[in-house]
Amino acid sequence: MLFDLLSSYADSADVVKQVTVVCIRLSAQEDASALLANEGMPYFMRTAAGLGMRDTGILALLFELLFYLAFAKENIMFIVQVKPFE
């Protein structure tokens, strides 16, 4: 559902910021962290390439999310292997 919001409201800085903050909070949970890294990375990278290039606040939140996701070793492979533009 959160990923659908990122897709549907990709041009809304407010929605993207709020969704990213929720994802940052969810990343503290092991299961949610794995889901965010595994399924969410293409969405986060598309957001970074879009609004993130125009809004430094969104870019900072996305980097903060990556920081938290990277604490789980199994998430690293999902983070570095993402192909956002397919």
What is the domain extent for residue 30? 2-81
Inter-residue contact 42 to 85 (CB < 8 Å): no
Rounded to an integer, the average pLDDT of 46-54 is 82
Question: Is residue 86 in a domain?
Answer: no
pLDDT, residue 26, reads: 93
How confident is residue 76, by pLDDT bands cut at 50, 70 and 90?
confident
Q: How far is CA 34 from CA 41, 45, 46, 50, in A?
A: 11, 16, 19, 24
pLDDT higher than 60, residue 39? yes
Query: What six digits make up the tokens of 3?
Result: 């990923």
Please give the Cα distance from 11 to 71 (Å, whole number): 29
The total of structural domains in the chain comes to: 1
Rounded to an integer, the average pLDDT of 30-38 is 89
pTM of the entire structure?
0.80
Question: Is residue 28 in a domain?
Answer: yes
Question: Is residue 62 in a domain?
Answer: yes
How confident is residue 41, by pLDDT bands cut at 50, 70 and 90?
confident
Question: Is residue 58 in a domain?
Answer: yes
